[in-house]
Amino acid sequence: MATLPAAPLETIEQFGPHLSYPAGARLDTAEEPDRQVKTHCCFCGQQCGIQLKIKDNVVVGFEPWEDFPFNRGMLCPKGVRRYLQGAHPDRLLTAYERDAAAPGGFRPLNYQAAVERVASEINRIQSAHGADAFAVLSGASLTTEKTYLMGKFARMCLRTANIDYNGRLCMVSAGAANKKSFGIDRSANPWSDIPQAEVVLIAGSNVAECSPITTNYVWQARERGAKVIVVDPRITPIARTCDLFLPVKPGRDVALFNGILHLMIEQGWIDQEFIDRYTVGFERVAEHVRQWTPQRTAEVTGVTEKAIRQAAQWWGQAKTSFLLHARGIEHHSHGVQNVLSTINIVLATGRLGREGCGYGTITGQANGQGGREHGQKCDQLPGWRDIDNPEHRAYIAKIWQISPEELPGKGVDAYEIFRKIDRGEIRGLLSICFNPKVSLPDNNFIGRMLDKLDFYVAIDFFLNESARHANVVLPGSLQEEDEGVVTSAEGRVIKINKCVDPPGDAREDWRIIQDIAQALGRQRGFTFDSPRQIFDELRRASAGGVADYSGITYEKVERQMGVFWPCPSEDHPGTPRLFEPGSWNPVAQGNGPFYFADGKARFNVATYAPPAEDVDADYPLLLTTGRVVSHFLSGTQTRRIGPLVDQYPEPRVELHPQLAEQLGIADGDWTTVESRRGACTLRAQVVRTIRPDTVFVPYHWAGLKSINQVTIAAQDPISKIPEYKVCAVRVSRASSPPAYAGVFEPQQ
């Protein structure tokens, strides 16, 4: 394969992104809907409860679901408009095959013929180059049933080691650090503990835009007298109302938290009794943070010494507290170290496992939690089991009725899959729920690698920018076209309910995977009739594991409005709050509340290192990236919803007026952000709400508007998360508008 089958504009004309607005039955208030289905939003990890209105197999609107306890009817703009993704003009209604002569570069193909072609290409590639030469990229917006099936499909049907998922860009730094510190990867508390806290510390989380419902929890704490501390290079809407703002220089979070711990130890603001009884490793950490004096911390982080001291005092002296973090500290080449440094200041206070004493990472994707538990990660088997552990392999092999030897070993992470394509080691790819051409860093490389594949099949409901490179596209399902469970940021397992049938030839993703297995002649283990059947096997596969779902049933989820895992038996109510004193878990077996054999949590030395690419004379500024409230991830869905595009049509580069003045850039000017990897020209937004040494660009757009042309593919050595949150750039006023201006619509 060489290049895209058609010019981007031709493909866009045929497949979008086009915008959908309310029309027809969606505007007609005289028509009563046929029914209203209680389900959840398809977007972020908050998983707000929502009721969708259905008329003639189309989702025509919504009604708030005020009884669902997490959001009580609250929604963000994405939730309000999510219904517009269905019955969309861009919806894929058939399978497609690449054909340069066809409109947009793809011609419709009979579904069965498409599946058979996929199977024959898989066979061809694996026979010639070995099983591992065919890779799978999956996603964490899929239901847990689907994520389980994807892991099983890769290992048992394709027999490839190379499966990974887009949570690699999202949750893995938090997950790895949580495992190292607690032995379990889940938010330690339900969000209902947030308003009970005296201090809420938010590190690297644009809560108001990326997880808007959490705002109300934080502000309820504030109404009860809590101090809110925000660590961020930008004054986001949540930072605007905080009590203490620590505008950390991107990439220096470890230093900040080590500096805070230094002061806590110096002042005696630690819980020595808890440390002695429930943790190990404190002495080494205490020794390590001795070097992080307030003066040095201030020099490295760019936060004033006075502010660091104030943070340490408020955090240190509090009786109750909640620490929340998100991608801001996780998207780093030392993301795991960043997270460990925050966990250390939590463990040192002993404020865990009690009401109002909490810690959590805010998952980004719909199933960011559940999607990382049951085996679609390159090193993992269901129930958070380890693919290198012989006992774990034997357990899963038994469930799947194969011998442990048949299970492949550990594969490589999502980015390394593309490097393996570059080296010719991977020749074929199946992707689902993943748009790497937009979402991976240094994405011009990703586009070249997609073109280098011998065969690429993409499963999606829209022809996303990555799928434009595919040989075959299979029409998958929207969230509302299937049922299954997902696990929210709190660790609450909830139920997505089916609202409509997949249109045309489109079908539920799990059916497509099973159809491929059948076409390969390896359907054993892939003959499920329903998501419920998959879930029942998943329950057995997770039994006894750390992420134990065995006691969860669809009925119990509906009855309790969610079940917090672990839930090891049907009479078990679930576990909203982890690490309560005296709690039992299968690893500690009663030795203590944490998930290690001795029941104790681990302090881990968190080592500071500058970002993989620091500023220099040629590239003197820091670039950081993130989200805006009306868009989601690579924009495959939200860039097709008219009212959300109208709210934030195109990416802008945020920069401080001091910097803008130096560079001669005025608000609204075309401005080029350039790194060693690529450049992107966007309009400037001049604001005092960002550090003067840092520029910010949101990442939801594709092609020439994609800031991931500029970002760096450096990764954390442990979690393999890419360093989206910091790289070196130079910024200048563009001499002329970019090539896309006046050619592409804002969302394209």
Partner 1 sequence: MSVPANHEFFIDPGRCIGCQACVHACSECDTHRGHSMIHLEYIDRGLTTQTTPVVCMHCDSPTCAEVCPADAIKRTADGVVQTARKPRCIACNNCVLACPFGVPKMMSQFELMMKCDMCYDRTSTGKKPMCATVCPSGALYFGTREEIEALRTSAVPTNRFRFGGQVIHTKVNMMVPANRSVEYVDVASALNEAPTGQDIELNILTDRRPAATTT
Sign of CA dihedral 638, 640, 644, 649: positive
Of all residues in the chain, what percent are helix, strand and coil, respectively (each to 5)? Answer: 35, 20, 45
Least gap, CB of 619 to partner 1 (angstroms): 11
- Longest CA pairwise span in the chain (Å): 73
* Cα separation, 143 vs 487, whole angstroms: 9
Task: Select 225 or 742, whichever has its Cβ closest to partner 1.
Answer: 225
> Strand pairing partners for 626?
698
Name which of 259, 253, 348, 269 is nearest 603 in CA terms: 348
Least gap, CB of 236 to partner 1 (angstroms): 7
Annotate 196-217 with DSSP letters as a single string: G-SEEEEES--HHHHSTTHHHH
CB 608 within 8 A of CB 187: no
Task: Select 26 or 117, whichever has its Cβ closest to partner 1.
Answer: 26
Task: Select 369 or 630, whichever has its Cβ closest to partner 1.
Answer: 630
Least gap, CB of 212 to partner 1 (angstroms): 4
User: Two tokens at 36?
Assistant: 């209203």
Least gap, CB of 657 to partner 1 (angstroms): 7
Helix (H, G, I), strand (E, B) or coil at 62: strand
* Cα separation, 352 vs 335, whole angstroms: 22
CB 159 within 8 A of CB 132: no
Least gap, CB of 377 to partner 1 (angstroms): 31
Least gap, CB of 301 to partner 1 (angstroms): 9
Task: Select 71 or 637, whichever has its Cβ closest to partner 1.
Answer: 71
Task: Select 557 or 684, whichever has its Cβ closest to partner 1.
Answer: 684
* Cα separation, 504 vs 658, whole angstroms: 55
Task: Select 324 or 463, whichever has its Cβ closest to partner 1.
Answer: 324
Name which of 549, 579, 580 is nearest 566 in CA terms: 549
Q: Where are the beta strands (DSSP E) in 367-436?
A: 380-381, 385-386, 428-432
Task: Select 122 or 489, whichever has its Cβ closest to partner 1.
Answer: 489
Cα separations in angstroms, 71 against 51, 214, 217:
12, 9, 10
Cα separations in angstroms, 295 against 255, 303, 624:
11, 10, 25
Least gap, CB of 714 to partner 1 (angstroms): 19
* Cα separation, 544 vs 664, whole angstroms: 62
Sheet holding 163-165, edge to edge: 106-109, 95-98, 472-475, 455-460, 428-432, 134-138, 163-165
Task: Select 236 or 604, whichever has its Cβ closest to partner 1.
Answer: 236
Least gap, CB of 303 to partner 1 (angstroms): 8
Task: Select 29 or 736, whichever has its Cβ closest to partner 1.
Answer: 29
Sign of CA dihedral 102, 106, 108, 112: positive
Residue with tokens 């689907």: 146
Least gap, CB of 300 to partner 1 (angstroms): 10
Footprint of partner 1 on this chain (CB under 8 A)? 22, 27-29, 61-62, 64, 66, 71, 73-77, 79-81, 208-209, 212-213, 215-216, 219-220, 222-225, 235-245, 247, 249, 302, 304, 306-307, 310, 615, 620-621, 629-630, 643, 647, 656-658, 667, 685-693
CB 414 within 8 A of CB 108: no
Least gap, CB of 216 to partner 1 (angstroms): 5
Task: Select 505 or 693, whichever has its Cβ closest to partner 1.
Answer: 693
The secondary structure of residue 618, as a DSSP letter, is: S
Least gap, CB of 707 to partner 1 (angstroms): 20
CB 413 within 8 A of CB 581: no
Least gap, CB of 337 to partner 1 (angstroms): 22
Task: Select 300 or 486, whichever has its Cβ closest to partner 1.
Answer: 300
Task: Select 159 or 222, whichever has its Cβ closest to partner 1.
Answer: 222
